[in-house]
Copies of this chain bind each other. A is one copy, B any other.
Amino acid sequence: VVTGGQPAAQRIPGGSTDPARQQSLRRHNLALVLAHILSGGPAPSRADIAGQVGLTRTTVSALVEDLVQARLVTELPALRSRTAGRPAVPLVPAAGTLAAVGIEINVDFLGVRVLDLAGEVLAEKVLAGDHRSSDPDRVLRSVATLVTTVLGRLDGDIPVAGACVALPGLVDSPAGPLRLAPHLHWSGVDVAGRLATVRALRGVPVRLANEATLAAQAEAARRGPESFLYVSGEVGIGGALVRDGRVRLGDHGWAGEIGHLTVDPRGPECDCRATGCLEVFAGQDALRRAAGWELDRPVAELSTAGGPAVVEALRQAGEALGIALAGAVNLLDVQQIVLGGCFAPLAAELVPAIDAELRRRVLSAAWAPVQVQAAVVGDYPALTGAATAVIDAVAADPASWSARIA
């Protein structure tokens, strides 16, 4: 949109008189200024922003005025300036002015988490359940009820910015459908279309994404420009490759399905109908079965349960994870692995066996040892990633948001 070495907004007051072009530059600059305020660093003043993005102070002030009007930005009390001149007013993301709705449909739970622009949780609820080989209509009705319940707790004035649904399977477009979720036994389900009919979501954009991709995005947002392979442990096992802070999605958006790397071709059959996938050795159900537990007992308890069956279940899962991760590292040349989902609270127990396989199987292990860490973002990270994806969509085009709430 913006060309040349000059910052875009300086052309608005002076140069072009083409209204379409002025409009497009204003949109671009609004997003630029909002991005600086949302970036997570110290709250900037108008002058700070002007200096950083290379716009005039007057232009920045006009744009900030629009963002405050749209309730996207809030002014904190002015700081006394150490030098002469007007005191600086710190600008922060507005709190409680919009609802970004993260939804997760997973094999053993449904969840809704609502964040505002400041990243605060406005409301949330997670509902345990067994959706293995489930009827999509029945589950989507439960999701609709859950969304209605959670959004009903919000202050009635808060506009809903959109919803994003985290799914345990293949999604190649934000509009869907969900191509395949092996453990749900769902295939070709129009999740977005169904949820768009929920009254509380009527008229707002509903998008879909893979749960591990969203969890990895939430993790990447906290870690900054790092490169890592994220592994999401749920009933299924998902993954995502993050390079320099960005998730790499592959040709269709399906990359990272490490749960279906073959660990042992003669192993048990997986819900995907192949044999010996990583999931059948290290997914939550595999962990529970190996430990002799019921399928509804939380696997996080394995870290403190003790006993030989539990120890052996964790060792086997760690070994299978290590074999699959070693293959992934040989293929991808990535030096950091982040254990997310149920693997995060079990990291201390899983890492020794994972490390042993990595040292043995990664060709370059002697020169560049692979680091295995627990995820920083815990507690349903895909729900946070989903809600954050909605915030990102608003932040990418604040002018549309202003128009919508006007």
A interface residues (Cβ-Cβ under 8 A, vs B): 3-5, 170, 172, 179-180, 182, 227, 239, 241, 249-258, 260-266, 272-274, 277, 323-324, 326-328, 330-335, 360-364, 366-368
Distance between A188 CB and nearest chain B CB, rounded to angstroms: 9
**Given A239-B331, A262-B263, A264-B265, 20 more contacts at CB 8 Å?**
A4-B4, A170-B364, A170-B367, A172-B367, A179-B364, A182-B363, A249-B333, A250-B334, A251-B335, A253-B333, A254-B333, A254-B364, A255-B332, A257-B331, A257-B333, A261-B327, A264-B264, A264-B266, A272-B361, A272-B363
Determine the distance from Cα of A333 to Cα of B331 in the docked complex, in whole angstroms: 13
* Residues on B with beta carbons closer than 8 Å to the beta carbon of A253: 333
B262→A361 contact, CB < 8 A:
yes
Give the nearest-CB partner of A323 in chain B.
Answer: B262
- What are 21 A-B residue pairs whose CB atoms fall within 8 Å in the complex? A170-B363, A179-B367, A180-B364, A180-B366, A241-B331, A249-B333, A251-B368, A252-B367, A254-B363, A254-B364, A255-B332, A256-B333, A257-B333, A258-B331, A260-B327, A260-B361, A262-B326, A263-B265, A274-B326, A331-B331, A331-B332
Contact B252 A364 (CB under 8 A): yes
For residue A180, which residues in chain B have a CB less than 8 angstroms away from its CB?
363-364, 366-367
When C-beta atoms are compared, the residue in chain B nearest to A227 turns out to be B251
A328 → chain B, closest Cβ, in Å? 6
Q: Contact: A330 with B261, CB < 8 Å?
A: yes
A75 CB to closest chain B CB (Å) equals: 37
A23 CB to closest chain B CB (Å) equals 22
CA distance A275 to B7 in the complex (A): 58
- Whether A255 contacts B367 by the Cβ 8 Å rule is no
Residues on the B chain within 8 Å of A256, using CB: 331, 333
Which chain B residues lie closer than 8 Å to A367 at the CB level? 170, 172, 179-180, 252
Chain B residues positioned under 8 Å from A264 (CB to CB): 264-266
Distance A256 CA – B334 CA, assembled complex (angstroms): 11
A300 vs chain B, min Cβ distance (A): 27
- Known: A179-B367, A272-B363, A273-B360. Contact between A334 and B262, CB under 8 A? no
**A330 to B: closest C-beta gap in Å:** 4
How far is A120 from B341 in the complex, measured between Cα atoms in Å? Answer: 55
CB–CB B361/A257 < 8 A: no
User: Do the beta carbons of B265 and A323 come within 8 Å of each other?
Assistant: yes
Chain B neighbourhood of A330, CB < 8 A: 257-258, 260-261
Q: In the bound complex, how far is the Cα of B277 from the Cα of A363, in angstroms? A: 11
Q: Which of A227, A250, A328, A368 has the most CB of B within 10 A?
A: A250
- The 4 residue pairs across chains A and B that have the minimum distance between CB atoms: A250-B333, A255-B333, A261-B327, A257-B330
Most B CB atoms within 10 A — which of A258, A264, A363?
Answer: A363
Which residues of chain B are near A266, meaning CB under 8 Å? Answer: 264
Cα A179 to Cα B43 in complex, Å, equals 47
- Residue pair B252, A368 in contact (C-beta under 8 Å): yes
